Amino acid sequence: MALVDTKKMFEMAYKNGYAVGAFNVNNMEITQGIVSAIAEEKAPLILQISRGARSYASMSYLRAIIDVAVAENPEIPICMHLDHGDTFETCKQCVDDGFTSVMIDASHYSFEENIAMTKKVVEYAHDHGVVVEAELGQLGGIEEDVVGLSHDDVMKHLTDPDQAVEFIEKTGCDSLAVACGTSHGAFKFKSEPKLALDVIDKIAAKLPGYPLVMHGSSSVLKEFKDLINKYGGDMPNAMGVPESAISEAVKKAVCKVNIDTDLRMALTAKIRQVFCEKPGEFDPRKYLAPGRDAIKDMVKHKLHVLGCAGKAAECM
């Protein structure tokens, strides 16, 4: 089947208490690992492309890789989503390039400016049959070009539930990324992680049936952190979002969970392991393949954390 948007995915996710995994892609191996896991587990899929990914690989290469994934998996609903679009022009270009979903992130502007920019993107995207994700409140951490708040300020800039209602009514956005204590990157927390899941509860009570999104939701899995550190890395204090908290959130109103850092760590950990165990290895296939396999296994695990394994058919 052709690329799809997220409308049916989110409708079913909300109704049945699970979330769809949104995985960032930068190259062929990462995409293959994700899609192989999705195909085996028969789950719906959102493939996200960031500005950094488009700069690294170019849109034509990324689109060709995704087109192959779609053609080879007709039984899997796949959405191609712009992650953290920062301008109207970026979102417009992605709509014109065939994305089926775009995110406009104007969360660092004033509330009024965020509304104005989001509404402009929504009007253009909807005219072309494309859905829009927006963001309200601010996350912490750093990932690619997205610079968030410091760890100490994250809990001071959570999404205001009353503002969320006004924002959605005035912009018409199809889903909303909320700030509930998560952060971008691998160093999300300095102490025991704690999310403000009450923010999700309050928004859900005010907007029943409306799909919410969690950014900065990689778990920084210990398996890969330990491998990276064992084979020459330096990530002793890396800490992510507990999977127990993610599982709790997806039973509420969270219908999409973004995962990027865990993909990077899986790939990096296995490449480091190969280089240390086989220092003479120079064939990219011999170190990228184990990384791809690690991504596949990690994604399969995540699909069960999110509860979307086996849900592909109902999202078609």
Q: In the Cβ-directed half-sphere of 207, how many Cα atoms lie within 13 Å?
A: 24
Q: Is the dihedral of CA 38, 44, 50, 55 positive or negative?
A: positive
Helix axes 88-96, 111-127, angle to 10 degrees: 20
Query: Given the structure tokens 């969360």, which residue do they identify?
Result: 107
Q: Residue 49's beta-bridge partner residues?
A: 82
Q: Contact, 298 vs 262, CB < 8 A?
A: yes
Q: Contact, 133 vs 184, CB < 8 A?
A: no
Residues 72 and 49: their CA atoms lie apart, in Å, by: 20
Say if strands 45-49 and 212-214 run parallel, antiparallel, or are unpaired: unpaired
Sequence-distant (6+) residues with CB within 8 A of 210 are: 168, 175, 176, 203, 204, 253
Phi-psi region of 232 (alpha: psi -120 to 50; beta: other; left: phi over 0): left
List active site positions: 83
Other beta carbons less than 10 A from residue 23's beta carbon: 25
Q: Contact, 34 vs 41, CB < 8 A?
A: no
Q: What is the largest CA-CA distance in the chain?
A: 60
**Sequence letter at residue 216:** G
